[in-house]
A and B are shown apart, each in its own frame.
Chain A
Amino acid sequence: MLKLLWAEISYNKQHLLTLFGLVVMLTAYNSYRPDSPNILILFLTFITVNNLNVFRNKEKRDRYFALIPVNMTAIGLLRISLLLIPFLGVVIYSLVSNYLISGHNLNTGSLVSFSGLIITVYCVVYILRDRMIETMRRYGLTKRRAIIILFAVVFILNIFTFFAIFESTRHLFRPIEKVIVFVENLVYKNPLESTSALVYGAVCLFALVSSTIVTLNFRKNFLD
């Protein structure tokens, strides 16, 4: 697994270095302007991770790795590592550097929750891709339609994840208000203040991350 991980990091080093360069600059800026929304840092991370995935898909990396004598669990761990490493790197760097430079805590809540959110989205996409596209195609759906349905499912799941992680369900039937509350929470409020939300989020995330490894082992098609 380490050989593959090293190869991927080495192959994508320009992307990763650019990301961390920008993160360093933004973190420095944030240390002088503590009120600025540090969510930008995570958007950058998101874009980088997204690009890594686009490259992997375009170059049919799953097909490449399926032919190499490495077991699928290792490839599943690799896939999730390539997702987690940039996020954890950015979050840890941002927290530590802000604390050291300015002595105050960055908006840790938004960093952690937004990271969790994006990792959740990717995990769900991986799981659906591993298990559902093949099944949908079996029932005569075209790949394009299957992908549209998957995105719709992911979107709905995300909305519910937002609600579950950030608040209780008291506003469940008032979706517009809920979205506003969510955005406020994401940017300004620290969800780490709620221990139960944090534990719930962490458990969900761990389960999701583990599931991506399991589903890869059961995937039926490595042509793409």
Chain B
Amino acid sequence: MDNAFEIRQMVKGYPKFKLGPLDLSLEPGTVMGYIGPNGSGKTTTINCLAGLIRPDKGDMTIFGRKNEHKNPEWKFDIGYVGDTHVFYENWTGAKNLKFLSKFYPDWSDELVNTMIQKFDVPVNKRAKDLSKGNRAKLAIVSALAHSPRLLLLDEPTSGLDPVVRSEVLDVLFEVVESEDRAIFYSTHILSDISRLADDLAFLVEGKIKLKSPKDDLIENWRKISFRMKKNQSQFKSGVSFKQDGREYQVISSEFNQTLEHIRELGAENIQDNRLSIDEIAVHILRGENNA
């Protein structure tokens, strides 16, 4: 079965920034969080996947089809919500949805009505009169109404106040959790996606720093505290450490390897704690992982 998307050796250059070479893929039905600081290239990656930007090199496929504009069938399989929500501003939300429905054979008015009621979107208002939150909700309805197999979400709650943001995320997750679709969610706020993600990919300065199943990260990354007579400043798979006399605290990206190593070194009173996914992300984005 084809991957939801595949990016191979993709490069996109700007005067002061270069994304890639990037290799990344997403299996059908999987949710991937695409994490990185502002300016790391997350939006550029998603824009390339959605066809809004053409890369300089490399190629991309969506469910096995090249994402090129001359054969746009691949667009049936994607739903895209970015931080900019584009509509016919003088038309109502309902008219915008009706316009879009003409282009998708799998468009479901029933699904649209369900989502409109659930999200409480005032579709009779003109798009330009909608609040930011309602524009985001309308964009989500537009993106989901044709039941795409791949959902590309590029910081869809960007610019929203915390209350509206939480509301939009709740409705988004309510819909996407109930369906078996691939989701590629870019954000710099890990808490937005951590409960939903199967995989996490960390992007730093245009390069993938680490890609891993979320559960593996939680399993492998530990904070290990122990006592040791010997002075030591290097630990296998240790990404950082603190020393206070004979007391050590090591952050490990491969718990078992580090544990074996410190045992060999004669460590005593060994205790370990799991890290939260946010803590792990901070270490990775700071460049402290050994991956």
Tell me the A residues contacting B by CB distance below 8 Å.
3, 7, 11, 59-61, 63-64, 66-73, 137-140, 217, 219-223
| Cα–Cα distance between A221 and B53 once the two chains are bound (Å) | 5
**In the complex, are the beta carbons of A68 and B100 less than 8 A apart?**
yes
**Sample of 18 further A-B pairs with CB below 8 A, known A61-B86, A68-B75:** A3-B103, A11-B88, A11-B91, A59-B86, A63-B84, A64-B86, A66-B52, A67-B50, A67-B80, A69-B75, A69-B76, A71-B72, A137-B14, A138-B14, A139-B15, A222-B52, A222-B53, A223-B53
| Cα–Cα distance between A219 and B68 once the two chains are bound (Å) | 12
Across the interface, name the chain A residue whose C-beta is closest to B43. Answer: A223
Residues of B contacting A63 with CB < 8 Å? 52, 84, 86
| Cα–Cα distance between A70 and B69 once the two chains are bound (Å) | 8
A–B pairs, 27, beta carbons within 8 Å: A3-B102, A11-B90, A59-B86, A59-B87, A60-B86, A63-B84, A64-B87, A64-B88, A66-B52, A67-B50, A67-B51, A67-B75, A67-B86, A68-B72, A68-B100, A69-B72, A70-B72, A71-B69, A71-B70, A71-B72, A72-B70, A137-B14, A138-B15, A217-B70, A221-B52, A222-B53, A223-B47
| Cα–Cα distance between A72 and B68 once the two chains are bound (Å) | 10
**In the complex, are the beta carbons of B15 and A69 less than 8 A apart?**
no
| Cα–Cα distance between A16 and B50 once the two chains are bound (Å) | 33
Residues of B contacting A3 with CB < 8 Å? 102-103
B66-113 interface (Cβ within 8 A of A): 69-73, 75-76, 80, 84, 86-91, 99-100, 102-104
Chain A nearest CB from B266 CB (Å) reads 58
**In the complex, are the beta carbons of A222 and B51 less than 8 A apart?**
yes
- The contact of A71 among B52, B71, B99, by CB within 8 Å, is B71
B39-73 interface (Cβ within 8 A of A): 47, 50-54, 69-73
**In the complex, are the beta carbons of A70 and B86 less than 8 A apart?**
no
Chain B nearest CB from A94 CB (Å) reads 29
| Cα–Cα distance between A61 and B99 once the two chains are bound (Å) | 13
| Cα–Cα distance between A140 and B87 once the two chains are bound (Å) | 31
Across the interface, name the chain B residue whose C-beta is closest to A14. Answer: B90
Chain B nearest CB from A3 CB (Å) reads 5
**In the complex, are the beta carbons of B70 and A137 less than 8 A apart?**
no
The 0/1 profile, CB within 8 Å of A marked 1, for residues 10-29 of chain B is: 00011100000000000000
Q: Is the interface of B mostly helix, strand, loop or mixed?
A: loop
| Cα–Cα distance between A67 and B78 once the two chains are bound (Å) | 9
| Cα–Cα distance between A140 and B15 once the two chains are bound (Å) | 5
| Cα–Cα distance between A61 and B91 once the two chains are bound (Å) | 14
A66-B52, A70-B72, A221-B53 known; A60+B91 contact, CB < 8 A: no
| Cα–Cα distance between A210 and B14 once the two chains are bound (Å) | 30
Residues of B contacting A59 with CB < 8 Å? 86-89
**In the complex, are the beta carbons of B88 and A7 less than 8 A apart?**
yes
| Cα–Cα distance between A68 and B142 once the two chains are bound (Å) | 11
Across the interface, name the chain A residue whose C-beta is closest to B99. Answer: A7
Kindly name the residue among A59, A69, A73, A140 whose own CB sees the greatest number of chain B CB atoms within 10 A.
A69
**In the complex, are the beta carbons of A69 and B73 less than 8 A apart?**
yes
Across the interface, name the chain B residue whose C-beta is closest to A68. Answer: B103
Closest 5 pairs (CB-CB, A-B): A69-B75, A72-B69, A220-B54, A140-B15, A69-B72
Across the interface, name the chain B residue whose C-beta is closest to A216. Answer: B69
Across the interface, name the chain A residue whose C-beta is closest to B15. Answer: A140
Across the interface, name the chain A residue whose C-beta is closest to B54. Answer: A220
Residues of B contacting A221 with CB < 8 Å? 52-54
**In the complex, are the beta carbons of A69 and B104 less than 8 A apart?**
yes
Across the interface, name the chain A residue whose C-beta is closest to B79. Answer: A67
Residues of B contacting A138 with CB < 8 Å? 13-15
Residues of A contacting B103 with CB < 8 Å? 3, 68-70
Residues of A contacting B100 with CB < 8 Å? 68
Chain A nearest CB from B85 CB (Å) reads 10
Across the interface, name the chain A residue whose C-beta is closest to B72. Answer: A69
Residues of B contacting A64 with CB < 8 Å? 86-88
Chain A nearest CB from B194 CB (Å) reads 28
Chain B nearest CB from A65 CB (Å) reads 9
Residues of A contacting B76 with CB < 8 Å? 69
Chain B nearest CB from A213 CB (Å) reads 12
| Cα–Cα distance between A140 and B13 once the two chains are bound (Å) | 11
Chain B nearest CB from A69 CB (Å) reads 4
Across the interface, name the chain B residue whose C-beta is closest to A11. Answer: B88
Chain A nearest CB from B144 CB (Å) reads 14
